[in-house]
Amino acid sequence: MQLDERKYTILQAIIRTYLETGEPVGSRTISKYTDLNLSSATIRNEMADLEELGYILQPHTSAGRIPSDKGYRLYVDKMMEEKEREVEEMKEILLEKEDKMDHLLKQAARMLATNTEYAAMVSAPQYHRNKLKFIQLSRVDFNQILAVIVVEGNVIKNRMLTVAEGLSDETLLKLNILLNTHLNGLSMEQINLGMIAAMKQQAGIHSDIVAGVIDAVAEAIKADEDLEIYTSGTKNFFKYPELSDHERASELITTFEEKQLLSELVQDNLADENNTGIQVYIGNETPVQGMRDCSIVTATYELDEGMKGTIGIIGPKRMDYEKVVKNLKLLKNQLDDLYRK
């Protein structure tokens, strides 16, 4: 048995109706809804076939049909574009160029959640191909040295170092020059043990300062270790009965609170090189444990060369995919443009 054109049309009608109403769809509804002019009995026969093909399911014997994951997948891949969406008024998306990145991203998440009425996440950009740009040691207190490390992409890392006894300005200058001449322009891979040893030797009694700085450099470069993720709209889970029984809600909320659990999503997204921009995970396809009953739609944005982050929406499988994709694209474009100018 094949998915011929008529079955395809019927399936499409079922899914669209279900997305609108959230209720299982019966044969009579489809018989009226489509312009196929078929009786409900015929539709019933076709529905039985579609069920056999795995595109739809029956929650119980005497209920209508709902789409299966396979059905949703077909919808997202093939049917979605075809529907000419009425241009709908959308709350203006506006991102002020805030100087604080964290505020900006938090704001972005909030906006996504408000506009879509689903839960939203935004990951802070990951910095790749990081090279050391600049190191600066300064005396702050008698026995405290501040090391400032700037890497490509203008990520800044501060590290306070305590020294046993005061350093003269001259010594400090020497150390500054030592560190900068040896390390500037290098990537993590290029900094090797031999180099470090050589520097330590040159630093003499101040080798522990060199060690501290190297340590801070390492941390600044592998900043992705503690990937920041901002979320918003957790309460929207409650809008969809299929997600809001205690057990499920509890799991979803925990996942959303312990944001590290969402990092899979970010990894997955960034890893995908030939990423067209939008990725859809339906039900079991999700890389995040505890969200098997949801659909997740993500997009990757790029703030600056190599600074990529992920934005995403989590909602019920019967989410309004068009709206979600539209919102994500809009935000992605705004973020892409933000620092490009």
Partner DNA sequence: TGTTAGCACTCTAATTGGTTGAGTGCTAAC
Partner DNA sequence: GTTAGCACTCAACCAATTAGAGTGCTAACA
Binding residues for a second copy, rule: CB under 8 A, are 100, 102-103, 133-134, 136, 138, 140-141, 144, 146, 148, 150, 154, 156, 158, 160, 226, 231-232, 234-235, 238, 244, 246, 249-251, 253-254, 257-258
Return the residue of 65, 308, 317, 332 that touches DNA, per CB under 7 A. 65
284 binds DNA (CB under 7 A): no
Residues in the chain: 341
**Residue closer to a second copy, measured from CB, 66 or 220:** 220
Please report which helix (H) or strand (E) contains residue 286, including its range.
none
Following DSSP, what letter does each residue of 22-37 receive, concatenated? -SPBPHHHHHHHSSS-
Identify whether the C-beta of residue 71 lies closer than 8 Å to the C-beta of residue 17: no
**Hunting for tokens 């529905």 — which residue is that?**
47
188 binds, among a second copy, DNA, none (CB under 5 to 8 A by kind): none
Tokens representing 234 are 């957790």
Return the residue of 33, 34, 51, 283 that touches DNA, per CB under 7 A. 51
Residue 325 and residue 112: Cα distance in Å, rounded? 11
Q: Nearest approach, Cβ of 11 to DNA (angstroms)? A: 13
Per CB under 7 A, the segment of 37-45, 172-180, 192-200, 326-334 that binds DNA is: 37-45
CA angle 28, 87, 82 (to 5 degrees): 55
**Residue closer to DNA, measured from CB, 50 or 221:** 50
Return the residue of 42, 234, 263, 275 that touches DNA, per CB under 7 A. 42
Identify whether the C-beta of residue 253 lies closer than 8 Å to the C-beta of residue 231: no
**Residue closer to DNA, measured from CB, 27 or 279:** 27
Return the residue of 9, 34, 58, 333 that touches DNA, per CB under 7 A. 58
Q: Nearest approach, Cβ of 71 to DNA (angstroms)? A: 14
Return the residue of 9, 40, 114, 244 that touches DNA, per CB under 7 A. 40
User: Positive or negative CA dihedral for 233, 236, 238, 242?
Assistant: negative
**Residue closer to DNA, measured from CB, 50 or 124:** 50
Strands 307-316 and 119-123: antiparallel
Per CB under 7 A, the segment of 55-63, 95-103, 146-154, 183-191 that binds DNA is: 55-63
Total interface residues for DNA by CB under 7 A: 25
Q: Nearest approach, Cβ of 66 to DNA (angstroms)? A: 10
E strands, 119-264, where? 119-123, 126-127, 132-141, 144-151, 155-162, 229-232
Identify whether the C-beta of residue 25 lies closer than 8 Å to the C-beta of residue 64: yes
Residue 329 and residue 336: Cα distance in Å, rounded? 10
**Residue closer to DNA, measured from CB, 309 or 316:** 316
29 binds DNA (CB under 7 A): yes
335 binds, among a second copy, DNA, none (CB under 5 to 8 A by kind): none
Please report which helix (H) or strand (E) contains residue 7, including its range.
helix 5-21
Q: Nearest approach, Cβ of 234 to a second copy (angstroms)? A: 5
Residue 278 and residue 19: Cα distance in Å, rounded? 20
